Each structure stands twice: as C-alpha cells, then as structure tokens.
Structure 1
Amino acid sequence: MLKNNITITRFVLLISATIFILFHYPFFKFVFSNVDYKSLNGVILIISLVILMLVVNAFMLYLIFFLSRAVGKVLLVMFFIINALAVYFVNTYGVIIDETMIGNILNTNYDESSSFFSIKLVLYVLLLGVLPSIYIIKVKIENVPAKKFLKTSSLTLLFIIVLAFANATNWLWIDKNSKRLGGLAMPWSYSVNTPLFYIHKYKKNKKEIILPNATIADNKKSVMVLVIGESARKQNFSLYGYSKNTNPLLSKIPNVFHFDATSSATYTTAGVKSILDHKDTGDLYEILPNYLYRNNVEVIWRTTNWGEPPVHIKDYQKRDDLKSNCAVNCDYDEVLLAGLKEQILASKKNKILIILHTSTSHGPTYSKKYPAQFETFKPVCNSVELGNCSHDELINAYDNTIVYTDYILSKVIEDLKELKEYNSAMMFVSDHGESLGEKNLYMHGVPLSIAPKEQYEIPFIVWISDSSKQLKPENNLTQHHVFHSVLHFLNIKSPVYDEQMNIFKN
C-alpha cells in the first residue's frame, strides 16, 4: 500500500522503479535482441544497464525534487503522460524517438495527428500516464537536510561514474547502438532530443542562403509538373516489377520512364527539402520554387500535405484554396488537379513549374486516402493499429493508395498532353518510403543509417511529351537530381547547375 507521506529518497526510488517497469520494455527488448545474453559479458552489460537506468533516473529526480517539489511534480506528471504516448507509438509502430522523430512530431498537422487516435492510445495514457500522475499529485514528499542531500548525491554520482568505467569494454557496442538506445530510453529520448532539434533547427535556418542569379535561355513554352509523393515505396509499383498491378494506367502510357532512386531521409521535412535542394547540405539554401520564382519563372505550388521548407512564391495553394474550383473527390489528392490546365493556360510566362505535394500514401489510415472506387485490392486494413491487421489487409490498403497515385499521375499527363503549344514533362518523386510490418516496423522515420530499404528506396517516374527532350539511360538517382533536371528542361542557365545531376539529354 502506498503511503501518503514519503521521504524524497524513497519517493524517487519508487518513481524510478515505476518508470523502469512501465516504459522500458522496448529498450531492453532491443538490448536482448542485440547482446549475447548467455555470455558473461552480456549478463554484465544487461545488469549494468538495468542498474544504470534505475539509478540515473532516481538521481535526476532527486536533484529536481530537492530544489523544488512543486516543479518536480509538474515535470513528473508531464513525463508520465508523454512516456505513455511515446511507448504507445514505439510498441505500435516500431518508431524510435530520436531527433528526426521529434521533428516529425513537432511538424505534424492536426489532420495527420488525429488519424492516430485509437482506444488503445487512450488506455495507454490513462493507465500508464494519468493513474501514476494522480498519486504523484496527492503524495506528500518530505525533504532531506542539505548535508544528507550532498552526501547522497555525491555518492550516487560516483557510483554512476564507476559503473560506466567498469563497462568500458562495452562502450563500442553502446556507441554503435546509441541512436536506438537513446531513442528508447524514457524520458531521455524526447527530453534530450527536443532541445537538440530546436538548437539544430535554429542553426540551420538562421537565414536562407541565396543562390546566384539565373537566366532564361529561350522563349520556348515549357511546363514541368513536379509531383512530390508521400510515403511511396518503390517495391509496390508494378512499373518496378511488383506482382500486383498497381500501375494499370501509367503502364499503358507512352514515354513513361522509371528509375531506381533513394531518398536522403526517411521523414517528410528532410525528404521534401532534398527534392528541392541543389545539393546535399544541412544548410538552408534557396530551394527550387523560390529560386525559379525569383528568376522570372511562373511557379505554382499546390499541396494537401505539410513539411516543406519556407516557400516564397505568389501562387501557394492549399487544399481549402483549391476546393472552390473542384468538382469530384475533393477530399482526396484529386483536388490538386482542379483547374490545373486552365491555370497553366492563363499564365503569361513561357516557363512554368507546377509542384503538387500529395499525401496519398501516408499512414496509418491508408484505407482513407483514396475514393471508394479505387479499392482494387480487398480486404483492407481499417485500423490505425497496423499490427492488429493481417499482413495481406495492410498491404492491400497501401497498394490501393498506389493505384490512386497511378490515376492522379495519369490525369496530370492527360492535361499536359492537351497543351499542344508546350514542351511538357511530369516528374514523380517520393519524399521517402514506408515500412509495412517488415522487421516489425511500420510507417517511416527510422534514422537513415539504420533504416530498412523499404523506407528509402523510392519511385522516380518521368513522363515527357513527344516534342520534349529525351532521357539519359540513368539509374540509381537521388532526390537532388530533381533540381538540376528541372533547370535543364526549362532551359534555365545557372552557375549552380550540375550536368551530372541532370536526367535529360542535351
């Protein structure tokens, strides 16, 4: 039975043990899967990690509660609620709460975040978050004298240092697996990675680095439609040899080409930035739409998604802006096509870049990302808890999003074919791939250094009109090929242009 009055020492030990029991199953599941736990060194490492986890959490809580019990209680309640949410996503989708995942979370919009809601999530929050918080709020904690505090904290710190050095032979293993270990340790995963995310974001985005001026080399009418896919993985496109016919329309259209490609990241913000960047860099250089708009190209951005770098153009249109001109399937990505051809024809400029940022294959609610008539493969997974669906149901739901993507791309091509005065092209590149239960991983966001191929092998599909330029026999493209290929197609001369990164023939 828990006491209403408890000393600070016993309290922090109790809370540390509770955090360990409730939230560290994923951490030690990973450890047991990657350590020879039958060997003496493996046993020592596991025991050391257990002790270290308990002692470090207790030590930090001891410091906080000695300084302020009120602040300590507020922080602990936050930790338990956030821990519950974090462990739900770790257990359900196999995610790792590292810096990149923190970026995903902080940049997620309401529509996307609400798609994760489930009864299981509520139970996690209530049982693992709210119930312990009630005890934390009600319990009376008795402080200790300063002398005892200094003695206890000094001995504890010394013990942590000794334990760390006693495991010096395991430092290499810990360093090798630091991303996963750090992303599964609660509450350290998010409490450390959140400030790191903001620090790095501030450093990267202090000021957009302007590229050198470009010039338009001719007056020929040219239009490029760049479609940025969401969570589309290459292996589920029949164009790439997938056994199910997920590309029934594109496969029949002349002048459609596909290339093997990889993404630069496994999450949207970094993936989209790479598609729009002129080279692989962590700096915020002027991105493709901003650069071309500043250099007198007509640039139109239409989006049902989020997560792009700052876009500085006149015609930036979101879903709600497009709905007024939409007649069919306006709650899906088809809204991006509403009045598209008419907007191109209304332009007074000869060079036009259209960017369509889709959201079609984003999970976990794959079955809600396409109209009913595109449910080609059945039965489908309708649960946000993807592990509760059979593998076939999950794959069917995802494959239907690819069928819908195929339709949208074919409609873009149909519109472009009608623009007889223009040299036209369409380029489809995904921001990243998607895991669908392989290795017990779902969706995306695993650090690229340890990500499975499903999360970074992406489709790179190109269509060109008969009068347009031909394509090089390229393969193994990157997302950075987009910037230079668009410049070449529109005949934009720039000091940053790299012919090696262009997919079109001269």
Structure 2
Amino acid sequence: MFKRNHKTSLVALWMSLLNTILYHLPFFNFVFKHLETGTLRQLPFSFSLLLTMITANFFTFYLLFSLSRRGGKVLLSLFFTINAIAVYFIHTYGVIIDESMMGNILNTNTEESSSFFSLKLVVYFLLLGALPCMLLWRISIERETRKTFFIRLGLALGLLLGLFALNANQLLWIDKHSKQLGGLAMPWSYTVNTALFYIHQAQKNKKEIRLPDATSTNEEKSIVVLVIGESARRQNFSLYGYEKNTNPLLAQTKNVYPFKANSSATYTTAGVKSILEHKDSSDLYEILPNYLYRNQVEVIWKTTNWGEPPVHIAHYQSKEDLRKLCDSGTCGYDEILLTNLKEDILASTKNKILVVLHTSTSHGPTYNTKYPPAFEVFTPVCTSVDLSNCTQESLINAYDNTIVYTDYLLHRVIEDLKTLTDFKSTLLFVSDHGESLGEKNLYMHGLPMRIAPKEQYEIPFIVWVSDDNTKLKPNTLLSQHHVFHSVLHFLGITSSIYDEKMSIFENE
C-alpha cells in the first residue's frame, strides 16, 4: 500500500471511509435511536445517510488533494486530530458539537479547559487522531488529469443529488433533527458551526444598542449584590426540597426567598447575557452593569469566571486581579470574590450600588476541586474527569459539596451586607444554567434547549432582603430577564424600558 503512488481519487475514498468508520458511531447511534422502528424504510434510509456521508467527504477530500497534495494532508491531519477530541467529548459527556457548543469551547479559558485532561483523552488522541495521521502521511499521492478530476467530482456531485432526491420524503425528519445530525457529523460539526458562531457574533457585536437614559427616583442608599451562579441546578438545593441538606446556612437566614426559574440557554455565554439584558433578544443591547454605570450608579464586578458580554465599567476585577489582593488560604476558591468587598462598597461616594459576583463554583468536570476540603460534607466523591467512570452517588456527592460551598458564600455576603446598616440591601443569586449528572447518560451542560433535559435549565433564583418591609411578588416561575427590572426597581431607577411586570418586588 505504501510502496507506490496511489491515485488521488483512491486516497480520497480511503480517507472518507476511514473518517466515516472512526468518527461516526455516535451519529448512526442517534439515527437508529430516533428513526421510527418497525419500518422497512429504516435500513435503506440509514444506508443512504451512510452513502451520503462517504460521498460528501470524498468530494471534499478529493478537492483538497487535487488542489494541493501536501495541503490536503495537512488539513486532513487537522481534521482527524480534532475529530478524535470531539468524539471523546461526545462519548464521555454526551455533548453535541453545535453552534452553541462551539461558542462554549471558543470562550473557555486555559484553566477551565485543562480540567478536562485525562488518560482516556490521550488514548482517543493517539488511536483516533495520531494513528490515522501517520497512515495518511505514509501514502504517496499521484495527481490525476484535469479531465479525470472534473469527471469524478461530477459523479460525486451527481450521486449526492440523486441521494437527496431519493430521500426527499425524509426531509422533514432530517430538518427536525438537523442540529443533532450536524453536531455529530465530522468534520462538519465544528467547521461549519465555528464559522456560524463567528458570523453571528460579528452580527450581534457590531455595536452595542444603547438603552434610553435612566434617572434615580430617590436618594435612599441601596445596594444590590447580584451573584451569578455557574452550573447550579435547582433540584440539588435543599431550599427547594432536596433531601440532602445542601443549604444549612441559608435555611436559617431570615428574609431568604427561593423562587423557581428556568434559564434561557444551557451554556454560560448565553445564560449570563440573559441575566444582564432587559429582554430576550439575539441583539446585543446595553447590559445592566454598563447601563447603570452610564447612569451614575456605582458598579463593582468581581469574577472568577468568563463568558460575559463586554463590560464597560471602572471597577472590574478578574481572578488574576483578585489574587494580587488575596492573602488568605482560600484564594484558590470562589471565596476570593469576597476580597475587599465591604471596603469597595464603603469607598463609594454614591447612594446606588450594584455589585456583581460571577462565580465558577459548580463547573465540572472536576467538582471536587471547586471547594475547600472543609466543605467535603458528602462522601465518597468523584475525582475523575471522566465522569462516566464514577458512580452516580460519588458524582452527585462531589457536586452537592459545591452547593454547600455556594450556600456558605451567599451567607458570607449576606452577613457583610447586614453590617452596612446605612444601606437598604438585597442579594440575588441566579445561575447561568443547570447541569446533568449522569441522568440519561448525559453529563455537564450545553445541549440545545429544545432537546436539553430539565436538569440543564431548571435553576435557582434565591433572594435575600435586609428590610422586613420589602415585599416580593408571589411568582411561581421566573426567568433570567427578571433580574434587570428587579435591580432597577430596588435601586429606585426609572426608565422607559423598565417593565413593572418583570420586577420581583412589590411597589411600596
């Protein structure tokens, strides 16, 4: 096989078959699972999809090799390497590589991405990535004539059109499952969806849409602390009836109100955007901290996370900034967000203050590293990044410990606010999305909303108020967009975009 030159078309066909065999088990598992059972059309349609995939990849690979044999090898090597990593995540965490997942990946920082490293990932990389690349580079490719090139491309294109016509009656099924099918087809899942992500980001971020000016209706000194949770799912908070006591401190705290809420998305960037915007929109409107800062409200942002829209304020502190100021033994955990919190509030000369604390406490897969050892209340805990290797009990125990630590952090903020007696204050805790912990063999988050399980979008919306006279509406289910209008209400900020129905607070 390696001792003589091989025709470009033959090499392209071999690589297409290899690509289909190595990387598309999840694709065809999905097809067989979701096709109507008991029908004679199931097998022919599945075979047509297989033939379509082989032909489409042959068309692309043949074109690449014909344009440049070396360039084609470089690109296919890149595809095989990324395919191997993508299939690892699909097999291990049950993800689908759609546009939202590509946004998640492209916005992941180095520290977070390193937490996914495992021996299993190395095995996938070597067997499904490095080995096919070595095979490819040992093959010598012989260029074909221009006439042969056009004939074979034409035949491949004709076969694709024929397969399309043959399966026209299945277009509704394909359209219904297009995101999942596209997210499992290699290398189309990440190539097409990466391009779509950047195109849509460019469209959304051309210019932040400015909101109408706002004014303060009173001179009362008031503070809102908005804590944005990470991957906190509602069902694991004992405040909502969970059988394990994950909220021992908040349960004993006066004026704490837990509301049920659903997130707008299952990944961080979209979830945080929804928490900070005044309405559900694909456009980038002026977000809450920017809007209030422009309208003379003191805004303080402290974060150990990432993924928020552009924040235009003076007092923004990242994890790196906070580490320079932290001198306690918990600087490696989200407690670092409380560094100089009271001092920063007291240093302000303004009556209206918004503090945003963006946490990372419950982000997987290394849940056991997200809290100090003293908060390992539930044992045994999962310590592997390959969550499917852990028992569900140990996985949930590790995750529940992050909720216990979250309870402690919120309690600490409340205790600090209680000492600021000159201010009327409130704390809002809202998560960006939920988390799957092995239910239906799914892990973490990021599935498209229309197929996401409830564990990935049912979130807590916890409120504390300092004043016994502050009344809250008896809402049964909130959205992340309630935050914007509730903050304006509490701070006494009026604007033409304020929606009274979206505030959680009663008029006084």
- Determine if the TM-score, normalized by the shorter chain, exceeds 0.5: yes
State the distance in 1 between where 2:99 and 2:230 align: 21
Task: For residue 376 of structure 1, report the CA deviation from its aligned partner.
Answer: 0.5
Deviation at 1:100, TM superposition (A): 0.4
The DSSP-based 3-state class of the residue aligned with 1:316 is strand
Q: CA deviation at 1:327?
A: 2.2
Question: Deviations for 1:162-212, whole angstroms, at most 9, x for unmatched residues?
Answer: 111111111111111111100000001011111111000000000011111
SS in 2 for 1:40: coil
2:73 corresponds to 1:65: no
Q: What is the CA-CA distance between 1:320 and the residue it aligns to?
A: 2.4
1:388 equivalent in alignment to 2:376: no
Matches within 5 A, 1:358-397: 358-397=359-398
Matches within 5 A, 1:85-104: 85-104=85-104
Match of 1:305 in 2: 305
Give 1:467 deviation, angstroms.
5.1
What residue is the counterpart of 2:147 in the other structure?
147
Counterparts of 1:28-39 in structure 2 under 5 Å? Answer: 28-36=28-36, 38-39=38-39
Q: Which residue of 1 aligns with 2:458?
A: 457
* Aligned equivalents of 1:37, 1:471: Cα separation in 2: 51
Which digits, 9 at most, give the CA deviation of each residue in 1:403-431, with x for residues without a partner? 00000000010001111111000000000
In structure 2, C-alpha distance between the alignment counterparts of 1:52 and 1:176, rounded to whole Å: 18
SS in 1 for 2:199: helix
**Residues 4, 138 of structure 1: 8 Å contact kept:** no
Q: What is the identity, as a one-letter code, of the residue corresponding to 2:155?
A: L
> What is the alpha-carbon distance in structure 1 between the residues aligned to residue 134 and residue 222 of structure 2?
64
Q: What residue identity is the alignment partner of 1:67?
A: L
1:420 equivalent to 2:421? Answer: yes
Instruction: Give the SS at the match of 1:432.
Output: coil
Instruction: Quote the Cα distance in structure 2 between the aligned partners of 1:321 and 1:99.
Output: 32
Partner deviation per Cα, 1:346-385 (whole Å, 9 max, x = no partner): 2111100000000000000000000000000000000000
- Confirm or deny that 1:222 pairs with 2:222: yes
The Cα shift of 1:71 comes to 1.5
What is the rounded CA distance, in whole Å, between the counterparts of 1:449 and 1:469 in structure 2?
Answer: 37
The residue aligned with 1:481 is: 482
Structure 2 CA distance for partners of 1:434 and 1:3, relative to 1, 3 Å: farther
Residue number in structure 2 paired with 1:318 = 318
**Aligned-partner Cα distance in 1 for 2:3–2:263:** 54
Give me the whole-angstrom Cα distance separating, in 1, the residues matched to 2:415 and 2:234. 23
Distance, in Å, in 2 between the alignment partners of 1:218 and 1:470 is 18
> Which residues of 2 match residues 171-182 of structure 1 at below 5 A?
171-182=171-182
How much does 1:50 deviate? Answer: 1.0
- Provide the rounded CA distance (Å) in 2 between the counterparts of 1:80 and 1:8: 18
Moved more, 52-61 or 33-42: 33-42
Determine the C-alpha separation between the residues in 1 that align with 2:260 and 2:185.
36
- Whether the aligned pair in 2 keeps the contact of 1:327 and 1:338 (CA below 8 Å) is no
Matched-pair contact (CA < 8 Å) for 1:480–1:501:
yes
Partner Cα distance (1:139, 1:159) in 2: 27
Q: Is the 8 A contact 1:109 1:306 kept in 2?
A: yes
Aligned residues of 2:471 and 2:505 also touching (Cα < 8 A): yes
Query: Is residue 424–residue 468 contact of structure 1 (8 Å, CA) maintained in 2?
Result: no
- Length-normalised TM-score, structure 1: 0.98
User: SS state of the match for residue 209, structure 1?
Assistant: coil
Cα distance in structure 1, aligned partners of 2:381 and 2:4: 51
Counterparts of 1:78-117 in structure 2, within 5 Å, are: 78-117=78-117
Q: Is 1:20 matched with 2:15?
A: no
* 1:309-363 deviation digits (Å, cap 9, x = unpaired): 0000000011222232442411100010122112111211110000000000000
Aligned residues: percent identity?
64
State yes or no: 1:500 paired with 2:501.
yes
Counterpart AA for 2:454: K
- Bigger drift between 318-327 and 192-201 goes to 318-327
Deviations 1:63-100 (A, max 9, x none): 12112112211110100000011000000000000000
Match of 2:445 in 1: 444
Structure 1 segments (4+ residues) deviating >6 Å: none
Distance 2:464 2:439 in 1: 31
Cα distance between partner residues in 2 of 1:125 and 1:466: 57
Answering whether residue 357 of structure 2 is matched by residue 336 of structure 1, we say no
Residue type at the aligned position of 2:236 = N
Q: Within 5 A, what are the aligned runs for 1:245-324?
A: 245-323=245-323, 324=325
Specify the alignment match of 2:184 in structure 1: 184
Which letter maps to 1:292?
A: L
1:37 Cα shift? 5.2
Q: Which runs of 5+ in 1 are unaligned?
A: none
Query: Does the residue aligned with 2:308 lie in a helix, a strand or coil?
Result: coil
Contact 2:263/2:433 (<8 A) preserved: yes
Question: Secondary structure at 2:299's aligned position in 1?
Answer: strand
- Residue 145 (structure 1) shift: 1.0
2:84 is equivalent to residue 118 of structure 1: no
Check whether the contact 2:482–2:504 (CA below 8 A) recurs between aligned residues: yes
Q: Tell me what 1:400 maps to.
A: 401
SS at match of 1:88: helix
**Aligned-residue CA RMSD in angstroms?**
1.1
2:156 aligns to what?
156
Tell me how far apart the structure 2 counterparts of residues 320 and 203 of structure 1 sit (CA, whole Å): 31
| Runs of 5+ unmatched residues, structure 2 | none
Alignment partner, residue 5 of structure 2: 5
Task: Tell me if structure 2 keeps the 8 A contact 1:227–1:357.
Answer: yes
SS of 2:41 mapped into structure 1: helix
Query: What letter is aligned with 2:352?
Result: K
Cα shift at 1:468: 5.6
Q: Which amino acid aligns with 1:449?
A: R
2:240 equivalent to 1:201: no
CA deviation after TM superposition for structure 1 residue 32, in Å:
1.1
Secondary structure in 1 aligned to 2:357?
strand
Q: What SS does structure 2 have at the residue aligned with 1:227?
A: strand
Q: Deviations for 1:266-324, whole angstroms, at most 9, x for unmatched residues?
A: 00000000000000001111000000001000000000000000000000011222232
Q: Measure the CA separation in 2 of the matches of 1:419 and 1:468.
A: 17
On the 8 A contact 1:425/1:468 being kept in 2, the answer is no
Q: Which residue type is aligned with residue 81 of structure 1?
A: T
Correspondence for 1:410: 411
Q: 1:267 to 1:502 in 2, by over 3 A?
A: same
The verdict on how the C-alpha distance between 1:3 and 1:79 changes in structure 2, with shifts beyond 3 A counting, is farther
- Per the TM alignment, residue 3 of structure 1 is displaced from its structure 2 partner at its CA by 4.9
- Partner Cα separation in structure 2 for residue 140 and residue 186 of structure 1: 24
| Corresponding letter in the other structure for 2:345 | I
Q: 3-state DSSP class of the match of 1:505?
A: coil
The answer to whether the 8 Å contact 2:2/2:138 transfers is no
Aligned partners of 1:69, 1:83: CA distance in 2, in Å?
21
Tell me how far apart the structure 1 counterparts of residues 315 and 16 of structure 2 sit (CA, whole Å). 53
